Structure 1
Amino acid sequence: MDLTNADDLEFGIIRGTTGDIDLAEWNKIIQTDNSLKQIEDRIGKNPFTKEEIVFSGEGKAYFMFSGEAVGNISLENGALLTTGVPLSKCTEIADRLNAFVEPDDRS
């Protein structure tokens, strides 16, 4: 995949054609696709209460290119939100999930 050729989709959304995208299905794709890497849980601290907070990596993946995370995909409310993932990759994922891709305006 050539990331210098702009089939880029800055922000996209992948929606199931017959309903929500299932977490288990999405996890299978993350585990079997070499260009995706599961995002680990992270621990942060509430600056006001100093309480530790866990930011879950469940349903989230980095899109990797040449060993670097260059985008991400997150399952939110039954749809995959993509940032910095080429349209061709989004389409490939959508095809595996019986879904479709569309641009997502997050401005």
Structure 2
Amino acid sequence: MTFEIWGSIVKGLKLQLQMTGLYNVLVAYILEDDSNLIMANLLNSIIWFIILIVVSFWIAGFCAGLYIFVHPLSVCIPPLSGLSDFLLTVIQFPHYCAKKMMSGEPLG
């Protein structure tokens, strides 16, 4: 009886995780044979999460404001197109951090 209850709870949790997209991330951590590798990936993901929240959102937000002003001017002043492209790259930094966080890759 208790095994059936636990089985239904696990199935419900698995379904919830699959719906939110976290199932594949957690399975990658759970199915690894080397526990040190699991902890390293988890630690890397936490570090990337901190960078995402503390650094990248603020920098991207500031650069987005500059990009709004510089991008239309780059049509009139062609040398500003390089700055415009650089600002767009910086605006995409949170996306880069999120990808690294989800994959658990180390810094560098």
TM range, smaller chain = under 0.3
Q: Under a length normalisation based on structure 1, what TM-score does the superposition of the two structures give?
A: 0.24
**Larger Cα Rg: Structure 1 or Structure 2?**
2
Greater helix proportion: 2
Q: Which has the higher contact order (CA 8 A, sep 6+)?
A: 1
Q: Under a length normalisation based on structure 2, what TM-score does the superposition of the two structures give?
A: 0.24
Greater strand proportion: 1
